[in-house]
Structure 1
Amino acid sequence: MTDPHYDVTGHGPVLLIVPGGAGHPMGLGPVTDALSAHFTVVTYDPLGLAHGRLGEPVADQRVQDWSDGARRVLDEMLGEGESAYVFGTSAGAVAALDLLARHGERLRHVVVHEPPCVGVLPDGARQQAAFRNVCAVYRAKGLAAAGALMTAVLEERDAEELPEGQPLSREEELTTPMALSLAHVLEPFTAYVPEAGPSQARLTVAAGTDSRGQLLYRTAEFLSKARQADFVEFPGGHIGILQHSSAYADLLTRTFLGAVPRS
Structure 2
Amino acid sequence: MTTTTHTLATDGAEITYDVHGSLPSADGQPPLMMVGQPMDASGFAALAAEFSDRTVVTYDPRGMGRSTRSDGQVSNEPEVQTGDVHAVIEALDAGPVDLFASSGGAVTALALVTAYPLDVRTLVAHEPPLVGALPDAEAAQRATTGFQQAYQDNGWGAGMAAFIAMTSWPGEFTDAYFAQPSPDPAQFGLPTEDDGSRDDPLLSDRSVAVTAYQLDGAALQGAPTRIVLAHGVESADVMTGRAAQAVAGLLGQESVEFPSHHGGFGAPDGQWPGQAPEFAVRLREVLSGA
Q: What is the TM-score normalised by the length of structure 1? A: 0.85
Matches within 5 A, 1:251-262: 251-258=282-289, 260=290
The offset of 1:14, in angstroms, is: 1.2
2: CA distance between counterparts of 1:113 and 1:206?
5
Using a 3 Å threshold, how does the CA distance of structure 1 residues 58 and 144 change in structure 2: closer, same or farther? farther
The question of whether the paired residues in 2 share the 8 Å contact of 1:96 and 1:112 is answered with: yes
* Code of the aligned partner of 1:148: A
Q: Could you list the runs of 5+ residues in structure 2 that have no partner in the other structure?
A: 1-11, 186-191, 267-273
1: CA distance between counterparts of 2:255 and 2:68?
36
For residues 204-226 of structure 1, give each alpha carbon's deviation from its aligned partner in whole angstroms, at most 9, with x where no partner exists.
00000001322222211111111
Matches within 5 A, 1:81-230: 82-154=95-167, 155=169, 156=173, 157-158=177-178, 159-163=180-184, 165-170=192-197, 179-196=200-217, 197=219, 198-230=222-254
What SS does the aligned partner of 2:41 have?
A: coil
Compare relative contact order (CA 8 Å, sep 6+) and give the higher one, 1 or 2: 1
The offset of 1:143, in angstroms, is: 2.2
For residues 128-173 of structure 1, give each alpha carbon's deviation from its aligned partner in whole angstroms, at most 9, with x where no partner exists.
2321221121121122222222223221434433337454334xx6
* Code of the aligned partner of 2:166: V
1: CA distance between counterparts of 2:182 and 2:145?
18
Structure-1 residue corresponding to 2:9: none
Using a 3 Å threshold, how does the CA distance of structure 1 residues 167 and 189 change in structure 2: closer, same or farther? farther
The question of whether the paired residues in 1 share the 8 Å contact of 2:86 and 2:112 is answered with: yes
* Code of the aligned partner of 1:163: D
What SS does the aligned partner of 2:284 have?
A: helix
1: CA distance between counterparts of 2:259 and 2:110?
21
What SS does the aligned partner of 2:237 have?
A: coil
The offset of 1:108, in angstroms, is: 0.6
Count residues with an aligned counterpart. Answer: 247
Q: Could you list the runs of 5+ residues in structure 1 that have no partner in the other structure?
A: none
Structure-2 residue corresponding to 1:7: 18
Which has the higher mean CA deviation after the structures are superposed, 237-246 or 131-140? 131-140
The question of whether the paired residues in 2 share the 8 Å contact of 1:89 and 1:115 is answered with: yes
Using a 3 Å threshold, how does the CA distance of structure 1 residues 118 and 9 change in structure 2: closer, same or farther? same
1: CA distance between counterparts of 2:138 and 2:52?
40
Matched residues, percent identical?
26
The offset of 1:185, in angstroms, is: 4.1
The offset of 1:250, in angstroms, is: 1.7
The question of whether the paired residues in 2 share the 8 Å contact of 1:16 and 1:87 is answered with: yes
Matches within 5 A, 1:227-242: 227-242=251-266
Structure-2 residue corresponding to 1:16: 33
Q: What is the TM-score normalised by the length of structure 2? A: 0.77
User: Quick check: which one's helix share is greater?
Assistant: 1
The offset of 1:44, in angstroms, is: 1.9
What SS does the aligned partner of 1:131 have?
A: helix
The question of whether the paired residues in 2 share the 8 Å contact of 1:60 and 1:183 is answered with: no
Q: CA RMSD in A?
A: 2.3
Does 1:45 pair with 2:38? no
1: CA distance between counterparts of 2:207 and 2:265?
19
For residues 60-86 of structure 1, give each alpha carbon's deviation from its aligned partner in whole angstroms, at most 9, with x where no partner exists.
21111111111111111134xx21111
2: CA distance between counterparts of 1:14 and 1:111?
14
Structure label with greater radius of gyration: 2
